[in-house]
Amino acid sequence: MIRNLEKTSNLLLPDPPNPKWAKLLMDYDFRSEENLLKFISRIWPFIWRFEWHFGRLQLHEVEIRKTEHGWHFYVTLQQQLKPEDIAYLQLALGSDYKRECFNWRRVRLKLFKDWNVLYREKFDERDRLVSKEGERLTELENEVRRIIDEARKVILQRAQNQVENSSASSTGK
Protein backbone atom coordinates (compact mmCIF):
# COMPACT_ATOMS: atom_id res chain seq x y z
CA MET A 1 0.00 0.00 0.00
CA ILE A 2 1.40 3.37 -1.00
CA ARG A 3 0.57 6.52 0.89
CA ASN A 4 0.37 9.69 -1.19
CA LEU A 5 1.11 12.93 0.57
CA GLU A 6 1.21 15.83 -1.77
CA LYS A 7 -1.35 16.24 -4.53
CA THR A 8 -0.25 18.33 -7.47
CA SER A 9 -3.55 19.11 -9.10
CA ASN A 10 -2.88 22.84 -8.74
CA LEU A 11 0.61 23.09 -7.29
CA LEU A 12 2.84 23.24 -10.36
CA LEU A 13 1.10 25.14 -13.09
CA PRO A 14 0.38 28.75 -12.23
CA ASP A 15 -3.26 29.65 -12.20
CA PRO A 16 -4.36 30.23 -15.79
CA PRO A 17 -5.61 33.69 -16.76
CA ASN A 18 -9.11 32.22 -16.70
CA PRO A 19 -9.79 29.97 -13.67
CA LYS A 20 -12.45 28.08 -15.66
CA TRP A 21 -9.93 26.78 -18.19
CA ALA A 22 -9.56 23.02 -18.13
CA LYS A 23 -6.53 21.29 -16.67
CA LEU A 24 -5.53 17.85 -17.92
CA LEU A 25 -3.32 15.82 -15.56
CA MET A 26 -1.84 12.77 -17.21
CA ASP A 27 0.46 9.94 -16.19
CA TYR A 28 2.57 8.09 -18.78
CA ASP A 29 4.52 4.96 -17.86
CA PHE A 30 7.31 4.99 -20.44
CA ARG A 31 10.90 4.32 -19.40
CA SER A 32 12.51 6.32 -22.21
CA GLU A 33 11.81 9.77 -23.57
CA GLU A 34 12.19 8.34 -27.08
CA ASN A 35 9.33 5.86 -26.59
CA LEU A 36 7.18 8.55 -24.97
CA LEU A 37 7.69 10.88 -27.95
CA LYS A 38 6.96 8.08 -30.44
CA PHE A 39 3.68 7.39 -28.64
CA ILE A 40 2.70 11.07 -28.47
CA SER A 41 3.64 11.64 -32.12
CA ARG A 42 1.37 8.77 -33.14
CA ILE A 43 -1.68 9.52 -30.93
CA TRP A 44 -1.79 13.23 -30.10
CA PRO A 45 -2.06 14.80 -33.59
CA PHE A 46 -5.42 13.14 -34.21
CA ILE A 47 -6.77 14.17 -30.80
CA TRP A 48 -5.64 17.79 -31.29
CA ARG A 49 -7.07 17.95 -34.85
CA PHE A 50 -10.38 16.31 -33.96
CA GLU A 51 -13.50 18.48 -33.87
CA TRP A 52 -14.99 17.63 -30.44
CA HIS A 53 -18.52 18.64 -29.41
CA PHE A 54 -16.87 21.53 -27.48
CA GLY A 55 -14.52 22.44 -30.37
CA ARG A 56 -10.87 21.68 -30.99
CA LEU A 57 -8.43 21.65 -28.10
CA GLN A 58 -6.75 25.01 -27.50
CA LEU A 59 -3.42 24.72 -25.68
CA HIS A 60 -2.45 27.32 -23.11
CA GLU A 61 0.41 25.61 -21.23
CA VAL A 62 2.12 22.26 -20.90
CA GLU A 63 4.39 21.17 -18.06
CA ILE A 64 6.17 17.81 -17.96
CA ARG A 65 8.02 16.18 -15.08
CA LYS A 66 9.88 12.89 -14.85
CA THR A 67 8.76 10.40 -12.20
CA GLU A 68 10.17 7.11 -10.95
CA HIS A 69 8.08 5.11 -13.45
CA GLY A 70 7.47 7.58 -16.25
CA TRP A 71 6.17 11.11 -16.79
CA HIS A 72 3.57 13.51 -15.43
CA PHE A 73 1.96 15.94 -17.88
CA TYR A 74 0.09 19.05 -16.71
CA VAL A 75 -1.78 20.62 -19.64
CA THR A 76 -3.95 23.72 -19.38
CA LEU A 77 -6.45 24.32 -22.18
CA GLN A 78 -7.90 27.69 -23.14
CA GLN A 79 -11.42 26.42 -22.78
CA GLN A 80 -13.85 25.25 -20.16
CA LEU A 81 -14.70 21.54 -20.14
CA LYS A 82 -16.98 19.31 -18.12
CA PRO A 83 -15.26 16.81 -15.80
CA GLU A 84 -16.53 13.95 -18.01
CA ASP A 85 -14.80 15.49 -21.02
CA ILE A 86 -11.57 15.97 -19.09
CA ALA A 87 -11.55 12.35 -17.93
CA TYR A 88 -12.28 11.13 -21.45
CA LEU A 89 -9.60 13.32 -23.04
CA GLN A 90 -6.97 12.16 -20.57
CA LEU A 91 -7.74 8.58 -21.56
CA ALA A 92 -7.83 9.42 -25.28
CA LEU A 93 -4.45 11.16 -24.97
CA GLY A 94 -3.02 7.93 -23.60
CA SER A 95 -2.70 8.61 -19.89
CA ASP A 96 -2.46 5.49 -17.71
CA TYR A 97 -5.70 3.62 -18.46
CA LYS A 98 -6.21 2.34 -14.91
CA ARG A 99 -5.87 5.84 -13.47
CA GLU A 100 -8.33 7.19 -16.02
CA CYS A 101 -10.87 4.40 -15.42
CA PHE A 102 -10.85 5.29 -11.72
CA ASN A 103 -11.12 8.99 -12.62
CA TRP A 104 -14.12 8.24 -14.85
CA ARG A 105 -15.81 6.36 -12.03
CA ARG A 106 -15.11 9.20 -9.58
CA VAL A 107 -16.59 11.73 -12.00
CA ARG A 108 -19.68 9.65 -12.77
CA LEU A 109 -20.39 8.88 -9.11
CA LYS A 110 -19.66 12.47 -8.05
CA LEU A 111 -17.97 11.23 -4.89
CA PHE A 112 -14.95 13.52 -4.89
CA LYS A 113 -14.50 17.21 -5.51
CA ASP A 114 -10.79 16.71 -6.30
CA TRP A 115 -11.05 13.65 -8.52
CA ASN A 116 -8.18 14.52 -10.88
CA VAL A 117 -4.87 14.46 -9.01
CA LEU A 118 -1.25 13.50 -9.45
CA TYR A 119 1.19 13.13 -6.58
CA ARG A 120 4.55 14.87 -6.32
CA GLU A 121 5.75 12.27 -3.83
CA LYS A 122 4.68 8.73 -2.97
CA PHE A 123 5.56 6.84 0.20
CA ASP A 124 5.16 3.20 1.12
CA GLU A 125 3.55 1.83 4.29
CA ARG A 126 6.82 2.39 6.21
CA ASP A 127 7.00 6.04 5.19
CA ARG A 128 9.83 5.41 2.73
CA LEU A 129 9.87 7.63 -0.33
CA VAL A 130 9.20 5.43 -3.36
CA SER A 131 8.67 8.07 -6.05
CA LYS A 132 9.22 11.79 -6.49
CA GLU A 133 8.72 14.12 -9.43
CA GLY A 134 11.79 15.68 -10.96
CA GLU A 135 12.39 19.14 -12.37
CA ARG A 136 10.51 20.56 -15.35
CA LEU A 137 11.65 19.20 -18.69
CA THR A 138 11.49 22.27 -20.92
CA GLU A 139 13.11 20.62 -23.96
CA LEU A 140 10.52 17.83 -23.88
CA GLU A 141 7.76 20.41 -23.34
CA ASN A 142 8.95 22.26 -26.45
CA GLU A 143 8.90 19.03 -28.48
CA VAL A 144 5.33 18.29 -27.35
CA ARG A 145 4.30 21.85 -28.29
CA ARG A 146 5.89 21.30 -31.73
CA ILE A 147 3.80 18.13 -32.22
CA ILE A 148 0.64 20.04 -31.28
CA ASP A 149 1.59 22.95 -33.57
CA GLU A 150 2.11 20.53 -36.48
CA ALA A 151 -1.39 19.15 -35.90
CA ARG A 152 -2.77 22.72 -35.96
CA LYS A 153 -0.98 23.43 -39.24
CA VAL A 154 -2.80 20.49 -40.83
CA ILE A 155 -6.13 21.99 -39.71
CA LEU A 156 -5.23 25.40 -41.13
CA GLN A 157 -4.05 23.90 -44.42
CA ARG A 158 -7.28 21.91 -44.78
CA ALA A 159 -9.36 25.03 -44.08
CA GLN A 160 -7.37 27.02 -46.64
CA ASN A 161 -7.81 24.25 -49.23
CA GLN A 162 -11.57 24.20 -48.63
CA VAL A 163 -11.78 27.97 -49.11
CA GLU A 164 -9.74 27.77 -52.32
CA ASN A 165 -11.83 24.86 -53.63
CA SER A 166 -15.12 26.59 -52.87
CA SER A 167 -14.04 29.86 -54.48
CA ALA A 168 -12.72 27.96 -57.51
CA SER A 169 -16.03 26.11 -57.88
CA SER A 170 -18.06 29.32 -57.47
CA THR A 171 -16.08 31.04 -60.22
CA GLY A 172 -16.55 28.06 -62.51
CA LYS A 173 -12.94 26.92 -62.63
Sequential pLDDT tens for the chain (173 residues)? 444 444 444 344 556 678 889 999 999 999 899 999 999 999 999 999 999 999 999 999 999 999 888 999 999 999 999 999 999 999 999 999 999 999 999 999 987 888 898 877 777 888 887 777 778 888 999 999 999 999 888 888 887 887 788 777 766 65
**Could you write out the DSSP letters of every residue in 39-86?**
HHHHHHHHHHHS-BTTBS--EEEEEEEE-SSSEEEEEEESS---HHHH
Strand duo 59-66 + 23-28: pairing: unpaired
pTM exceeds 0.85 = no
Amino acid at 28: Y
Q: Which helix (H) or strand (E) holds 9?
A: none
Residue 71: count of CB within 10 angstroms of its CB: 20
